[in-house]
Structure 1
């Protein structure tokens, strides 16, 4: 692995910042000063230090983000603010990407990682990973709606969704519900309620697979997953 890539992936800084450190002779490999950013290192066997501090290599990063409304689920965009823009440079250096998408106006749990294999497992249509949302609905949600959702809803394009679990938390002119789906079609939850003549006013994802959103995280806040949470994702 190239030394500059290793240091960037370790969160030391951007490629440009890493090159500056090398030029200033702040980096050693096996106690030898290295200035060449293209020098190759072995993370498992070489001892790499920056300013005499040992650099621990971390290949993958796993982040839980409480996505706020108004931010898009993308790695970059020329016009819109993205979920990656919410991260500091040292985490952006790992080149994480969102696992799946939340609509721009939807908030809640979003996983960011650079582990392509895990992302593939979580998003694979064959896995049917459940995703749970809390929603406020314009209109009175009924038990009949719950039955319709349980049998699959016919969307505006004729697609019939897989069975979904709809639980009524509060009924009235504005209803509060919890819904769990096992697929991720475009605007799916909104379109499902539209199919039963209701409108989603507010939508928040609270769970993906076995992983729950940490309610201590305020909107736009994030943290790395702990070992137990990562295990839950792999068990999903």
Structure 2
């Protein structure tokens, strides 16, 4: 990785702003290889030097990647004045610049990638990429084979262009409730809900199960998260090329 300024290392690791971590250095709260830091501008070899802040080891991570099973009631944002955010759920994060890749509505559950890798995020979210996103949904009333055909043809959801073809699979269709799987390749605002609204149905429950090559770990309960495995990250980066 090479060398990095001490104040940047500490700020990126979540110990405060540049000015705040400089205060920690001045107060002798930071050591490098067992000795008090010489100054906030001191260059640190992140592969060799051992840094501690207030007695705790400081580890540098250039990028972090987390799979989150987003619970309902939490917003897909970095900060929010009223509600808890998905980034706040990642308690063990080392980076302070994490953000969600894309958005899930406040009442929607499921897979969300949390990272600070802006290049990968832009590639996955680019409109021309058409990355598959699969959802499980429960809707009021019956869903029919006619709906399957309409979704495959593209729907008018009140925008200039119709939605791109989507794959709708009916698991169970009932008079009061239907259970379906839906795969779309876009990320329009409230898209899944608006698509069902276009065929006279209302979404009662929505959960994202996959995005591209990344599939939600069934072991993760709502609100739980884990770091991506090396194979998961490799496949995701391949897709984002």
TM-score (norm 2): 0.87
Q: CA deviation at 1:78?
A: 1.1
Structure 1 counterpart of 2:31 = 27
Structure 2 counterpart of 1:145 = 147
CA distance in 1, matches of 2:94, 2:216: 21
Q: CA deviation at 1:10?
A: 4.3
Q: Secondary structure at the match of 2:43?
A: coil
CA distance in 2, matches of 1:170, 1:22: 65
Q: Secondary structure at the match of 1:154?
A: coil
Q: Match for 2:184 among 181, 186, 190? A: 181
Q: CA deviation at 1:92?
A: 6.0
Structure 1 counterpart of 2:235 = 232
- Paired residues for 1:34-113 under 5 Å: 34-43=37-46, 47-50=49-52, 56-88=59-91, 90-91=92-93, 93-113=95-115
Q: Secondary structure at the match of 1:234?
A: helix
CA distance in 2, matches of 1:228, 1:47: 29
The answer (yes or no) to whether the contact 1:4–1:19 under 8 Å persists in 2 is no
Q: CA deviation at 1:220?
A: 0.7
* CA RMSD of superposed structures (Å): 2.3
More moved, 182-191 vs 78-87: 78-87
Structure 1 counterpart of 2:12 = 9
The answer (yes or no) to whether the contact 1:68–1:106 under 8 Å persists in 2 is yes
Q: Secondary structure at the match of 1:140?
A: coil
In structure 2, relative to structure 1, the CA distance for the partners of 1:180 and 1:22 (3 Å cut) is farther
CA distance in 1, matches of 2:60, 2:199: 51
CA distance in 1, matches of 2:22, 2:115: 22
CA distance in 1, matches of 2:150, 2:59: 53
Q: CA deviation at 1:80?
A: 1.9
In structure 2, relative to structure 1, the CA distance for the partners of 1:176 and 1:136 (3 Å cut) is same
Deviations 1:25-69 (A, max 9, x none): 54115x65315223333435x523328987543200001011011
Q: Secondary structure at the match of 1:91?
A: coil
CA distance in 1, matches of 2:63, 2:119: 11
Structure 2 counterpart of 1:132 = 134
Q: Give the aligned length.
A: 232
